[in-house]
Amino acid sequence: MNFIAGNYDVAVIGAGHAGTEAALASARLGCSTIIFTINMDAVGNLPCNPSIGGTAKGHLVREVDALGGEMGRTADDTFIQSRMLNRGKGPAVHSLRAQIDRRKYSARIKHALELQENLDLKQAEITEIQPIEGQYRWEVVTKMGATYCAKCVIIATGTYLGGRIYVGDVSYEGGPDGMFAATSLGKSLRKLGVQCRRFKTGTPARIHRQSIDFSNLEVQEGDEEITPFSYDTLEKADISLENKVVCHVTWTNETTKKIILDNIHRSPLYSGKIDGIGPRYCPSIEDKIVRFSEKERHQLFIEPCGLDTEEMYLQGASSSLPEDVQIALYKSIPGLKNVKIMRTAYAIEYDCVDPLSLRATLEFKDFPGLFGAGQFNGSSGYEEAAAQGIVAGINAALSVLGRHELILERSGSYIGTLIDDLVTKGVADPYRMMTSRSEYRLILRQDNADARLMPIGHEIGLISDDRYAKFLHRQELKKTELKRVRNTTIPASDEVNKVLVSRETSPINNPVRLIELIKRPELNYDALTEVDTTRPNLPKYIFEQVEVEIKYEGYIKRQQAAIDEARRLECKKLPIGIDYKQINGLRLEAIEKLSKIRPENIGQASRISGVSPADISVLLIWLTKETKSERGEKKND
């Protein structure tokens, strides 16, 4: 018999990266919150790989931090190696990635939940969820029969929901890292009317450090000068950030390829045992060998899992092949001849929702007060999960508090792009964030995430006044430096021309403004140190931000114009409950897609696959007529 164990404003199901950010955001906004986890030792776990960030993912971490989230600070506290990726390319794609001490990261996140006011952390499997009448709109029931009532519920089940593990012919119900699966909640959601689908992901083996021959492997060092994820860390002058480990690079070979191809029929991916769709941009090693058969070798990275463990992670070698095949293929790789596998690689299949059933707030369109976040929404990755988690947590809290909802613009953040892609375009496979997904990536850089999102975080209430004051001070420093660079004149002299010629750029015969020299491709702040005599003593990141804005000024202006036009369409709201069949001129495909997705504005409608520019024109004409009609009715009233 069930019993009422507690009433809360917000209940969060799952304590991975989505769930923890959601619960912390809700509690910090003053809502009584409870977060459930199947196993307390799996809170904030890194089951797939021991790293945070990466291409585009580093942008997401910075943005979560700018909104007041936890991931960036915790990554800074627990990283063991840090690298800025894509330094050889433009600033739009510079992305921070850090190797993490996974046990310390998990412990820090768990402790943050335990210390958070208004937040209860509970080990329990949720087996049932259902709507109820009254101010507490939902009740969730645990496997032990305890019932918790909540005004809003956030589902952040990761890969636990209906989880099934696959290693060759072996398959069984299970969650990541040997945890239990959530076996009953999926049935409850389907009974409720939530449409679920099956996705899958995988992870490589973990191997023993002492069984690796590092003598002929390429060493991958971290950055000499470390850039933190969090702006809080950036402001702490007393913190010394240093790399503690190195990673190594190795490669597969023809022997590896032959072992895999000879046994490909034993892979559940190719034998038909796995129905779930895997991530397109993070394929298993057997997928790589089959899909890219022309390649002679594939790169692998050997990465430490922490400072107090001998476990090493084989980045790029995930697999669901039988254990005997895994042993053979890993041993064929240089440096791994005598390898000892500590954790066998596996694939995991799990339930997730069709994100087209969600609004941009991550609330279900048909179930008020019910939200989804993370891999439950069809995405992949810790960073994508955290980004959705903080948005879902904020919006659940704002709903409880009766405040206006938060919808992040696609043009203003990678988080907005991520969510807009999910709820507007849907997903055919686990969604991974990439810089190419944003048409505004030169403006949505990781270095200016605070300028884009910290005012929003402060207005909501997740960024403290003290932290916001520091942000405003940074912005003032940048503004002042930009003004100085525009107004400073560099005279023509032998000393100046010597610097210019040494950088293979033309000398000057007349005085030139400093900004014009910085704009030259061959020059930068560092190159002009000797001749820039009025330069103030500022943090290096201020100079870097100013330099980017100067060098890419023309491109930034063009992108800003495109953003302004996009915002014009976003402002044209579509009424709730439109019968698109009654709008003359819409094509049948457009009617079908618009009726299913129910976009909230013209901008969102324009991004739906199958809705053409001609359909948007029809919608704009219809909306104009409707607006005029409404104004006329109000005037007559």
pLDDT band at 626 (very low <50, low <70, confident <90, very high): confident
Distance (Å) of CA 516 to CA 79, 384, 488, 525, 553: 39, 39, 10, 12, 12
> pTM here?
0.94
CA dist., res. 286 & res. 264, Å (int): 7
pLDDT of residue 631: 59
pLDDT of residue 637: 52
Q: Residues 572-636: name the CATH superfamily.
A: GidA associated domain, C-terminal subdomain (1.10.150.570)
CA dist., res. 302 & res. 313, Å (int): 6
Tell whether the model's pLDDT for residue 479 goes beyond 60. Answer: yes
Alpha-carbon dihedral angle through residues 525, 531, 533, 537, given to the nearest 10 degrees: 20
Start and end residues for every CATH 1.10.10.1800 domain found in the chain:
488-558
Domain 3-202+350-460 adopts which CATH fold?
FAD/NAD(P)-binding domain (3.50.50)
Start and end residues for every CATH 2.40.30.260 domain found in the chain:
206-346
pLDDT band at 3 (very low <50, low <70, confident <90, very high): confident
Least confident of 56-70, 281-295, 315-329, 520-534: 281-295
**Strand spans (E) along 224-382:** 247-251, 299-304, 311-315, 341-343, 346-353, 370-372
Contacts of 403 (CB under 8 A, 6+ apart): none
User: pLDDT tens across 556-575, in order?
Assistant: 999 999 899 888 888 899 99
Q: Which two tokens stand for residue 81?
A: 């190696």
Tell whether the model's pLDDT for residue 293 goes beyond 70. Answer: yes
pLDDT band at 104 (very low <50, low <70, confident <90, very high): very high
User: Secondary structure of the chain: what % helix, strand, coil (to 5)?
Assistant: 45, 20, 40
- Has domain 488-558 been given CATH number 3.40.50.300? no
CA dist., res. 24 & res. 154, Å (int): 12
Alpha carbon distance, N-terminus to C-terminus of the chain: 56
Nearest-CA neighbor of 40 among 132, 150, 120, 96?
120
Start and end residues for every CATH 3.50.50.60 domain found in the chain:
3-202+350-460
Q: Which two tokens stand for residue 228?
A: 């933190």
CA dist., res. 609 & res. 83, Å (int): 37
Tell whether the model's pLDDT for residue 344 goes beyond 80. Answer: yes
Tell whether the model's pLDDT for residue 194 goes beyond 70. Answer: yes
pLDDT mean across residues, the chain: 93
Start and end residues for every CATH 1.10.150.570 domain found in the chain:
572-636
Domain 206-346 adopts which CATH fold?
Elongation Factor Tu (Ef-tu); domain 3 (2.40.30)
